[in-house]
Amino acid sequence: MASLSLKKVSSAWIITILTLFICAIVFGILMRLNQGNDIKLSPNGFYTLMTTHGLTMIGIWTVAGMVGIQYLLSRYTTVSAKLNVFALVLTIIGVIMLWISTFVGNFHTGWTFLYPFPFYIAWAKWATPLFLWSLAVLGIGWFVWSVGILVEILKKYSLKQAFAWQHLSKKDPEVTTPPFILIATVSLVGIILCLITAVILLILFFAEYYSNGSFKNDPLLMKNLTYFFGHTLANEALYLGVALLYELLPEVSGRPKFKMTWYIALAWNFTMIFVLTAFFHHMYMDFVQPLGFQMVGQLASYFASIPAAAVSALSVIFLVYGNKIKWSLTNILFFIGVIGWMIGGIGAVIDATISNNIVLHNTLWVPAHFHTYNAMGNVLFCLAFFWWVANEFAGSQETTKSHKITIGLMLIGGFGFVLMFYIAGAASVPRRFAFYPNELQIGMTTATWAAFFATLYLIAMLAIIWEIVRKCIRVFYSS
């Protein structure tokens, strides 16, 4: 069971994450208004917002999943609140350094800080090292935290059991692995590998920076490392959210817990391999990349989506279909999240097909698909957990309040916002343009509409977040 100190630190995390989330949504809306020609930001201002928005969003929704995993893990084994505090402190320091490098130093390479952009100084000179060091601080904090959580899992389950391999050979093994443990293990292993790659990447950046250019990096290697780290981290973050769903959805719906079966075990073990190799689809336009890797990229992108997504979607459909469900905001958010995840996943597979990618590469189709499975997928999975845990802190899961208006605003706002990206992407409007030339009128029109829909989404989020934060604050007064 969660200790009071774990509850307090989880509350502090939730309040921090949600505050940053609101700021990052506002940055997003400002970008869309600028692209719609409704406000005038300087190009530097736009790219500063884009860099801060992208990194903040990816970061907070990765740690949101880790907060949930560690909290729910306390049902199975003892967990360390101190480890959690350590990660929170380093995260706050890292975010402050990052925001100073972007907002004060004007660093604006985009969230992928693709080599050699950080060395083409178009900002304060000190901003490049500060930016790289901010990532080092965040990376160290999250690496120690994710290894720590994995060790906590291994205190109760052997490595074989954590991966549920005993379910592949026996129908009723002595020790059964809860799906939550398997998915958390698979995702944490992926996150640890991403973070090790990030450390290698940063060492290479620092080597070139501090050698004053006498050491030069290989751009293709740097791009492969960057996308192995960035693409995989964004995907693993989503799977942390799915682990929360497996643990909580049946419980809050008044249904029996999901049981481990051989096909769930197989699906998630395969997912681990495919997700780690799908990033090659970011390299399709790098013609010097060996052809074999490009083929791996396409196949892994297909296969990655089948096991986890198909198995999870079917599990959720079987849970809901024909059964009397106790609906609450928690399972509604999980349910909508699965729909967003599926739609975003289909958008991703379309783009990862090489013949389509020739047309869609670096168009707004790219932010279309990843915003769908983030803003309408993983964010909702984590919010469902936040809502559930805030009610647990408040001492009751029973809320008679209807959230019809909030959910309506979130659905119209969220799906409307991503639809504008899809329409513009299908019309070949490029991504990462601060403003569009007159020939791309459709880019401007869709951007203005997107800003409107995103504002509806923001209002819905504010309504949900207000209630969550109010309940989380109460934990600090309990003893």
CB 149, CB 181: distance < 8 Å: no
| DSSP line for 236-247 | HHHHHHHHHHHH
C-alpha dihedral (126, 129, 130, 134), degrees to nearest 10 = 170
Beta carbon of residue 262, minimum distance to ligand HEM (angstroms, whole number): 33
d(CA 352, CA 145): 32
| Burial environment of residue 29 by CB neighbours within 10 A (0 to 12, 13 to 18, 19 or more) | buried
Using alpha carbons only, give the angle 265, 268, 273 rounded to the nearest 5 degrees: 130
Please choose, out of 74-82, 99-107, 252-260, 374-382, the segment that lies near ligand HEM by the rule CB under 6 A.
374-382
Residue 374 binding ligand HEM, by CB under 6 A: yes
d(CA 63, CA 75): 19
Residue whose CB is less far from ligand HEM, 74 or 134: 134
Residue whose CB is less far from ligand HEM, 303 or 452: 452
Beta carbon of residue 343, minimum distance to ligand HEM (angstroms, whole number): 15
Please choose, out of 135-143, 276-284, 368-376, 404-412, the segment that lies near ligand HEM by the rule CB under 6 A.
368-376
The tokens for 91 are 């995260």
**Long-range contact set of residues 165-169: C-beta below 8 Å, sequence gap at least 24:** 165/265, 165/269, 167/260, 167/261, 167/262, 167/264, 167/265, 168/262, 168/265, 168/266
Sign of torsion over alpha carbons 209, 211, 213, 216: negative
Give the per-residue contact string, 102-121, with ligand HEM (x = CB under 6 A; - = no).
--------xx----------
Among 457, 467, 472, 475, binds ligand HEM (CB under 6 A): 457
Residue whose CB is less far from ligand HEM, 353 or 448: 448
How many chain residues are in contact with ligand HEM, going by CB under 6 A? 24
Residues of span 24-83 touching ligand HEM by CB under 6 A:
25, 28-29, 31-32, 50-51, 53-54, 57-58, 61
Give the per-residue contact string, 437-456, with ligand HEM (x = CB under 6 A; - = no).
-----------------x--
CB 455, CB 29: distance < 8 Å: yes
Nearest-CB residue for ligand HEM: 28
Give the per-residue contact string, 174-213, with ligand HEM (x = CB under 6 A; - = no).
----------------------------------------
DSSP annotation of 430 reads B
Report how far Cα 110 is from the mean position of its chain's Cα atoms: 17
Residue whose CB is less far from ligand HEM, 223 or 432: 432
Residues at the site binding ligand HEM, with contacts judged by CB under 6 A: 25, 28-29, 31-32, 50-51, 53-54, 57-58, 61, 110-111, 367, 371, 374-375, 379, 417, 431-432, 454, 457
